[in-house]
Structure 1
Amino acid sequence: MATVSDKSLPDPAAYSVSRPCTHEEFLAAAKVYARAVVRATALSVTVSDLSWTVSTRAKRRAGAVRHRNGEPESVSLAWRQFEHGGWSATASTVRHELIHVHLLNENNDPGHGPAFRQLAETLETTVHCQRFTDPEWWVHCEDCETRLARYRRSKLVANPAAYQCGNCGGDLRVDPGDPS
């Protein structure tokens, strides 16, 4: 795997876009910032080879890389994350997605394993994004502190008695909305 440079990252604020803006302006800022990150870190990513899109539906993920046969094809960024977290959160997501593209290019690795975690630390981004949309339901364990956010009506949400806590084996209950 190619070594990623230790040069300092570009300041996300220098590439920011503020609200209100169009999806096109948002994506233009994201691509310009992505190119600056690639230049500073020597990631094996060609930003212009990727299709960049905005997801207005995403509630759980801040971004995604779509790939076919190990070849990265597109990057999708969540509009809701930008609305709730601003440009700083989006810039972190851009760096996160660039790591996925780099690891796909280098060794067909789309996951969040050790190589990803090491690059996430180098690129000052997170492995998992912070919640930016409130879930429709919370699944709570009756015996331990486990709490799971759910955004869709799943089998677990519809019938929690058929399942048990993955941590302790306890009974589960489902509560609507607010986690408190």
Structure 2
Amino acid sequence: MSSEPEEEVDTTYYAVGPEATVPEFLAVSKLYAREVVRHYGLTVDVSGLDWEVSKRAKRRAGAVKHRDGTPETVSLTWEFFQNCGWEATAETIRHELVHVHLLNEEGDGSHGARFEELAAELDTHVNCERFAEPKWWIRCASCGTALARYRRSKLVENTESYRCGSCGGSLRLSENRPRE
């Protein structure tokens, strides 16, 4: 990475609204990523990566797909962009670029100490806030632990067959109904 940058990259210059098409959104995302890479001296070849939109993801704002430690694809979540806007998405792009940089430099794509250090430098989050409402909640009757579920699973279908991982208590399923 380069020495201390003079100021941050202006995300508003690249801002795109929720009316953008997927190709427009990806084009702007790549332009913004190139500027972040240049500004912070990251070892990322933006053009060498595939860029895609996920319209299924509910628990992550973005992801880096890699094979054998080599970054291949940056995936950005459409619902996150639609719900949270460009500024939050730009932060996610910076987050994913830190992953790519660390995979290239150290072969480590985790959220470890080096990731946290670079995330702070690039003014990005380490973990993403919930941005989509789950379809179901699984709650422990004893300790109150709550687990969000977005898709049908064995746990959703057979809640009574499972126990709480925290205290061993029984679990209860409730459907998440939108507030009126």
Displacement of 1:138 in angstroms is 0.7
Amino acid at match of 1:96: H
Following superposition, which runs of at least 4 residues in structure 1 exceed 4 angstroms of deviation? none
Alpha carbons of structure 1 residues 131 and 106: separation in structure 2 relative to 1, 3 Å: same
Alpha carbons of structure 1 residues 5 and 152: separation in structure 2 relative to 1, 3 Å: farther
Amino acid at match of 1:66: K
Partner Cα separation in structure 1 for residue 106 and residue 73 of structure 2: 18
Deviations 1:120-142 (A, max 9, x none): 22212112212221111111111
Amino acid at match of 1:159: N
Structure 1 equivalent of residue 138 of structure 2: 139
Secondary structure, aligned partner of 2:8: coil
Secondary structure, aligned partner of 1:111: coil
Between the two proteins, the alignment pairs up a number of residues equal to: 178
Alpha carbons of structure 1 residues 18 and 179: separation in structure 2 relative to 1, 3 Å: closer
Partner Cα separation in structure 2 for residue 32 and residue 147 of structure 1: 39
Displacement of 1:169 in angstroms is 2.4
Amino acid at match of 2:90: A
Structure 2 equivalent of residue 75 of structure 1: 74
Partner Cα separation in structure 1 for residue 161 and residue 69 of structure 2: 37
Partner Cα separation in structure 2 for residue 91 and residue 81 of structure 1: 11
Amino acid at match of 1:176: E
What is the RMSD computed on CA atoms of the aligned residues?
A: 1.8
- TM-score norm. by structure 2 comes to 0.91
Displacement of 1:113 in angstroms is 1.8
Partner Cα separation in structure 2 for residue 42 and residue 120 of structure 1: 14
Amino acid at match of 1:60: R
Pairing partner for 1:6 from 4, 20, 24 = 4
Alpha carbons of structure 1 residues 27 and 11: separation in structure 2 relative to 1, 3 Å: same
Structure 1 contact 6–122 (Cα < 8 Å) conserved = no
Structure 2 equivalent of residue 104 of structure 1: 103
Unaligned runs of 5+ in 2: none
Secondary structure, aligned partner of 2:108: coil
Structure 1 contact 54–78 (Cα < 8 Å) conserved = yes
Unaligned runs of 5+ in 1: none
Displacement of 1:112 in angstroms is 1.5
Amino acid at match of 1:115: R
Secondary structure, aligned partner of 1:126: coil
Q: Share of identical aligned residues, percent?
A: 55
Amino acid at match of 1:33: Y
Alpha carbons of structure 1 residues 42 and 144: separation in structure 2 relative to 1, 3 Å: same
Amino acid at match of 1:156: L
Structure 1 equivalent of residue 126 of structure 2: 127
Displacement of 1:178 in angstroms is 4.4
Partner Cα separation in structure 1 for residue 167 and residue 116 of structure 2: 27
Structure 2 equivalent of residue 159 of structure 1: 158
Amino acid at match of 1:97: E
Q: Which moved more, 1:155-164 or 1:13-22?
A: 155-164
Partner Cα separation in structure 1 for residue 150 and residue 73 of structure 2: 24
